[in-house]
Amino acid sequence: MSRKPRISNYWSRKPIYNNPIFSKTLSRDRFQRILGRLHFVNNAEQANDPNNRLFKLGTVYKNITDRFKAVYTPMTNISIDETLSKWRGRVLFRQYIPSKAAKYGIKAFLLAEAATGYVYCYHIFTGNEKEAAAAAGMSITENIVMCLMVSLLHLGYKLWMDNWYNSPGLAKRLLAARTHVWGTLRSNRKAVPKLVQKHPNNTKLKKGESVTYSSDKIMVGTWQDKKPITMLSTMHQNCSPVPTGNTTRDGQPILKPTCIQDYNRYVPFIIIIDRVTNSLELKNPINLLTL
């Protein structure tokens, strides 16, 4: 597939862009007029669903996610993360995330196979998540995770998450649905032990030391590296460091907890998905203000 910087470049006569198949099929101006008026629904029907900010996408959004689920069944290890598609147009739910390469854009939450990065399903953030979570009796992050996981619950999957999603309450919900979970954890989350970053004698951890708390098959532990790293897991027993198989420059074995080693194994695939999404800019001139 030949990608060009601008839509008009597909009709350009410059040698670097020239691709005659486009001009022979449809003129540039006609294509852009059609693209600017592309519609999937009847506007008169929006009164029946006034709070749906994705109304103009019609059934396309649902059909795409359903197709992702139908053509492939992910393996045991899966992961959730958010991504940002570059967009600087007018839209009510445009997000600004300075840590992302795109900075401004449309945020989506992805459920992907951890080993390959295959996106199984996704949820576009529209700003209405707070109301939906309140109606379900969950926090926003808990509701997002449970909605993405709904078709994979009770099947024995293992879910990898970072500290934006992870919490003891969510771990209990998933464990009750026969789904294991592990990942980083914010130490100020509700129900996290107050001494999770300290020794039982209330002193700070030294580098290489760890502390672990367990309850109801949920392990919460902290390992002190340059900074404390707090983990939550329903599959690991503790946060005690073990050899990684690598050594330092002076030949000393590098030690890390097994839960952190397992977590790091799947980080690159999420980064790849995020980079690919950030490289795609939404350039459709459709006015999204009314979505």
Read off the pLDDT of residues 148-181 as tens digits, 9 standing for 90 and up: 999 999 999 999 988 999 999 999 999 999 999 9
Residue 230 has pLDDT above 50, yes or no: yes
Q: Which helix (H) or strand (E) holds 28?
A: helix 28-36
Q: What's the pLDDT score for residue 287? A: 44
pLDDT band at 197; cut points 50, 70, 90: low
Is residue 234 within 8 Å of residue 178, measured between CB atoms?
A: no
The residue-averaged pLDDT of 38-53 equals: 80
Residue 208 has pLDDT above 80, yes or no: yes
**CA gap 136, 130 in Å, rounded:** 10
**CA gap 145, 23 in Å, rounded:** 45
Which of these, 85, 72, 96, 75, lies nearest to 273 by C-alpha position? 85
Residue 279 has pLDDT above 70, yes or no: no
Give whichever of 58-62, 94-98, 231-235, 274-278 has the largest mean pLDDT: 231-235
Q: What's the pLDDT score for residue 120? A: 93
**CA gap 35, 59 in Å, rounded:** 18
Residue 79 has pLDDT above 80, yes or no: yes
Residue 27 has pLDDT above 90, yes or no: yes
| Residues in Cβ contact with 55 at an 8 Å cutoff, skipping those fewer than 6 apart | 41, 46, 49, 291
Residue 288 has pLDDT above 50, yes or no: no
The two structure tokens encoding residue 218:
């949920």
SS3 at position 193: coil
Is residue 199 within 8 Å of residue 173, measured between CB atoms?
A: no
pLDDT band at 1; cut points 50, 70, 90: low
Give whichever of 41-45, 58-62, 231-235 has the largest mean pLDDT: 231-235
Residue 276 has pLDDT above 70, yes or no: no
Residue 285 has pLDDT above 50, yes or no: no
Residue 291 has pLDDT above 50, yes or no: no
Is residue 183 within 8 Å of residue 160, measured between CB atoms?
A: yes
Kindly report, residue by residue over 132-150, the tens digit of the pLDDT: 888 888 889 999 999 999 9
Q: What's the pLDDT score for residue 13? A: 87
C-beta pairs of 60-69 under 8 Å, 24+ apart in sequence: 61/124, 65/121, 65/122, 68/119, 68/120, 68/121, 68/122, 69/120, 69/121, 69/151
Q: What's the pLDDT score for residue 290? A: 39
Q: What's the pLDDT score for residue 92? A: 85
Out of 42-51, 127-136, 166-175, 209-218, pick the least confident. Answer: 42-51
Residue whose entry in the numeric block shows the structure tokens 């995770």: 145
pLDDT band at 286; cut points 50, 70, 90: very low
| pTM of the full structure | 0.79
Q: How does the average pLDDT of the chain come out, rounded?
A: 84
Q: What's the pLDDT score for residue 283? A: 52
Q: What's the pLDDT score for residue 179? A: 95
